[in-house]
Each structure stands twice: as structure tokens, then as C-alpha cells.
Structure 1
Amino acid sequence: MKFKPQNILVIHFGQIGDVILSLPALQIIREKFPKAKITALIGKSGADIVEISGFVDEKIIVDRVRLRDSGKIWSIKQVFKLLRNVRTQKFDFIIDLHSLYETNLLGFFSGAKHRLYASRGNRSLDFLANFQPKPPRINRLLHLTDYYLDVLKPLGVENPKRFVNISPQKKHLEEIEKLLSNKNIEKRKLVGLFPGAGHASRRWSLENFSLLSKLLLSNKNLQPIVFLGPEEEHLRQKIEETFSPEVLILDKLSLLQFAAALSFLDVLISNDTGAAHIGAVVGTKIVLVMDKRAPANYLPCTENLSVVNSGTLDEIGVEEVFEASRKILSN
């Protein structure tokens, strides 16, 4: 293909799990256009992961939650400010992986000569794209990573790599190494537990995680570590009351410190949430606890994944999850 853009804008406003599942597509764009400058127009939650991926040169960060929840006048001013910023940078190629009305319009008014949009049916204005041929319409049965890769088919992408591993930054690895060095756990395998999730319906009970930690501690070679993000801080007191003092609790980590910490684990046992995707992309084995109603096309994209599911989360037994973690640790 003779098409050689020099200044590319990739748009993705998805949540962190969605952004991680799009990293293989970002890697393809980087490999396809190695000399181009690539900028990511990215939601706030996914910005740090995109930065350490090494696939983009610059970021434009948009806080969509603040735009949604702030006053209309302020939000409208910010949108026009964003549009001016995009137009000033004179992009010659827009790739809209998110492809919603607002992102399609932004791409259209950006001044870019070439526009390639994901086709999301009634949720997008993909007729505003002009790149030929057009990508296939979204197939909701596809895994999300494959959906993002499909968007790039018009670029002549064939047999793309589906798995991406990224390395946390050295300074964050050193910070976590220093943190763990004081815990006297050097000779143990580290088992992460992430009891949080964005919605209560996706949370295996804290009592189950507590019982699981006791099973893990029965093996002197295993060290459970509970991770708490900002949304799980309210659980800390209950965890301290119900979990053994031998269980480590790590909280107040930045996202990049969290990614670094997960890379030290031998396995992460997590609810269906962004933590599992972060663990997978830094190369950690994952045991995912979820009910069967959750869509399989959003699973972490890794070969080191064990899914424990049932009709409801309450039906998933502690011994079942423990056995899954034991098996994946032995592989």
C-alpha cells in the first residue's frame, strides 16, 4: 500500500479494559506506519496504559466523566477547545476505534484528509468516514480485540497478533520491589486478590475472598496480597477484620504502580473488572471469577487465563477458585 500518512490521530474514549483490548490494534498501526507521528485522543482512564505501551508518541487526554457531569456552558467550551487543539495539529489521518457520534464529528471537523471509522451501526456516523474500502460492520459475537483489528482491515492487515505484553516503567517496578522487600516474602509465590468491581453484580463476595485467602495461606509457599483501588477503600476496615494478618494489603497505588505490582504476581484472582485486563497485559496469569451472563467477548486477551463461572456468582465455590489457581500456578 502506497498510503503513507505522517501525522495520525487514533481516537479511543473507552474504559481501561476496552483500551487494553485495543492495544494489538495500536501496535499494528505503529508497525504499519513506523515513521509517522501517532497521537492518541484518549479517555482519562486509559491514558497511562497507552503511554507505557510505547505505541504512541503523544496523548490528548479527555475527561469524559467531567464533561458529562459539569455545566453545559463549561463543557461546550471544552469541546470547542479540544476541536481547536485537534485542528491546530493538522492530522492527515484519523482512525476512530471508538466511533460514537461525537468522535465521528470531531474527526470530520478535524481537517484530516483521510478518515477511517469503526462501523457501529446506529451508534456511529460512519458515513462521515472517507477511507476506502470501509471496515466490516461490527460483529457483536467477535472478541473485542478482534473487532478493533477488523477496523484496520482496509489497511491490508492480515493475520495480526492478538496478544500484547507491555512492561511497566522501571521507576514503578523499583518502587514496588522496595515495598515488597520489607515483607519477608521473597521465597513465596505471590497470589493477588482483587475483590472490587465497577458494579456490585460483578463482585464475588468479600467473605469468599477471605475464605480463599485462608486456603492459600495453608500452603506456606503462597503469599496472598489483596489490592484495593480508590473505589475499594471502603472495604479496607472489613478486610482487616476478616482476613488473616498474614495477608498483605496494597492500596493507594497509582495506576502505573498497580500495573507494576501485578507484574510481580504469579497469579491474579480477580472479579470481572479492569484489574484482570491490566494483569493480563503485563504478563500475569489470571483466574477470572464471573457469572455466565457476562459477555465472553470482553475476556482478557491472554493465553494464561482460567475462567471460573456459574449461573450466578453466589454459586461459585471457594474450593473451585482455589483449585483453578492451583492448576494455573502449576502450568
Structure 2
Amino acid sequence: MIIQKKMIGDVLTSSVIAECLKANSNQVEIHYLIDDNTVAVVQNNPFIDRFVLMTPRLTKNKWRLFKFIKSVRAERYDVIIDVYSKISTNLISYFSGAKQTISQYKWYSSFIYTNTFKNVHHEKTRSGLAIENRLQLLKPLNAFPDKPVKPKIYLTENEKNAAIKMLTEHSIDLSIPLIMISVLGSSEEKTFPLSQMAKLLDYLAKHSKLNILFNYIPNQKKQALDIYNFCLPETRDCIYIDVYGKSLREFLAITS
């Protein structure tokens, strides 16, 4: 079982471990322990046989976490690869009963694992440090890949066709490059000044022939409109502000 809690990007990145394990042996059965709100990014991944889902309620309640750990132990896993390596997953790994447990080296939890690795700080391949540090966890299993690997998102043909239909219904010319820009951060501190973001969009529209989509969530609509209105008229002609994914899978299909 591979463990990677929390963020969507981390869950997608760590999915390369499953791909490498399957490439090494198609007889291996791979379970992926992730948070339930991140499933969409690895849905339909052919290298993952089963998802084991955690919810915020589990980590906030000791009794629920204990029952969850018991359910993990009942699976009788041979190997646990704990990519996340925080207290909750330290406990899962420790009580899993797995013969081999692999994780990142941390002084306070290294005794839990049979194999640990320190993160490297200089890239050796084109994969990037985030992937290289994860792939180190495959060394004890002799499943380290021979060539660089990158995470992939697996969309169905129906999802792709639905995205194309949505774009064409909004009269977006698909022969022109389409880019989606996250114009707003998750908080005010992480958001570029709105007028400055508009100037950036003006620059892009002036120097490139493209169509632009905004990536924002419904409660950010007013701020997204403010940025749109700050833009020059010719820039606004390139922006389709009402086209956005209503779910993560829809968002992924639009940007594919």
C-alpha cells in the first residue's frame, strides 16, 4: 500500500510509484491510501487497484483512527510505502503488520520503518526533485525506473468529448491555443493584486494569439469579474470568464 495524504498535487505526483511498481511486476496489487477529496485526480489510473480513503473525521477522532488502523492491519499488507510520513501515517505504518515499511527519514520516526531515505537536494534527472525523492522509496523493492517518469491524469473519452462540447458551445475556436490561468489565490495573501493580474493578461493577449479561461471557484466570481473589467477591451475579447470546470474532473478535461 502507498500512503499519500493531503494535497491533490502530492497525490498525483506520488502515483508514479504505482506505475513503477506495476512496470516491475504486473502481479503486484497496489492500494493507494489518500484523502477522499483527492480521488478525482487519480481516478481511472490503471496502475492502482484500489483506493483506501481517509476523511478529516478519522484524524480528528482517536477512536475512529484506531478502527481505521485495525482495518488496514486486517489487509495483511506485505509492503507499506509511506510517502506522507506524518504522525497519523506513522501510526498506520507502525501497526500495519507489514513486513517491510518504507518512508522518508525523520529522526523521530525512523525506528518505525525498515527502510528510510533522506531527501536529495540536487536534481539528477529531468523528472524533478519531487519525483526523484519519491522514487528513492522504490530502491528496496528493486523497482527504481530506468528512465524518467511523470505523473499522468487518465480521462475517459466521454469526459474529453464533454469538455470539447462545452468549449464549442461557447464559440471557442479550438484551433487557437487555449490557456487556463489561476487568477486568484486561495487567500488574499496568496493573490496577486487584481490590477496587476489584469496587466499581465493584457501583455499575454497583446503578444500572443490565444484564448483565456479563468480558474476560480464560485465564491470568487466577483473578484474574477473585477480582474476581467480591469483588462483592456481587446484582452476581454480573448477571455471566456463563464467557462470553468464545475468539478475537478471537468476542470481536468477542459485543460487536457
TM-score (norm 2): 0.82
Change (3 A) 1:46 1:138: same
Aligned residue for 2:167? 180
More strand by share: 1
RMSD over aligned Cα atoms:
2.6
Change (3 A) 1:219 1:183: farther
| Code of the aligned partner of 1:256 | R
Change (3 A) 1:236 1:197: closer
Aligned residue for 1:256? 249
Change (3 A) 1:257 1:95: same
**Which 4+ stretches in 1 moved above 6 angstroms?**
none
Quote the offset at 1:140 in angstroms: 4.9
- Count the aligned residue pairs: 244
Aligned residue for 2:118? 137
C-alpha separation between the residues in 1 aligned to 2:185 and 2:48? 29
C-alpha separation between the residues in 2 aligned to 1:220 and 1:184? 19
Higher deviation after alignment, 216-225 or 37-46: 216-225
C-alpha separation between the residues in 1 aligned to 2:40 and 2:139? 27
Change (3 A) 1:165 1:226: same
| Code of the aligned partner of 1:195 | V
Change (3 A) 1:159 1:199: farther
Q: Which one of the candidate residues 83, 89, 108 is aligned to 2:75?
A: 89
Aligned residue for 1:47? 39
Residues 54-203 of structure 1: pairs in structure 2 closer than 5 A: 54-64=46-56, 66-67=57-58, 75-122=61-108, 125-130=109-114, 134-140=115-121, 143-156=129-142, 157=144, 159-186=146-173, 187-203=175-191
* Unaligned residue ranges in structure 1 (runs of 5+): 1-8, 264-331
Change (3 A) 1:62 1:160: farther
Please tell me whether residue 228 in structure 1 is matched to residue 216 in structure 2.
Answer: yes
Quote the offset at 1:39 in angstroms: 0.8
Alpha carbons 1:24, 1:164 under 8 Å: kept: yes
| Code of the aligned partner of 2:23 | E
Alpha carbons 2:14, 2:134 under 8 Å: kept: yes
| 2:44 aligned counterpart, secondary structure | helix
Alpha carbons 2:58, 2:68 under 8 Å: kept: no
| 1:212 aligned counterpart, secondary structure | helix
TM-score (norm 1): 0.65
Quote the offset at 1:254 in angstroms: 0.8
Q: Percent same amino acid at aligned positions?
A: 23
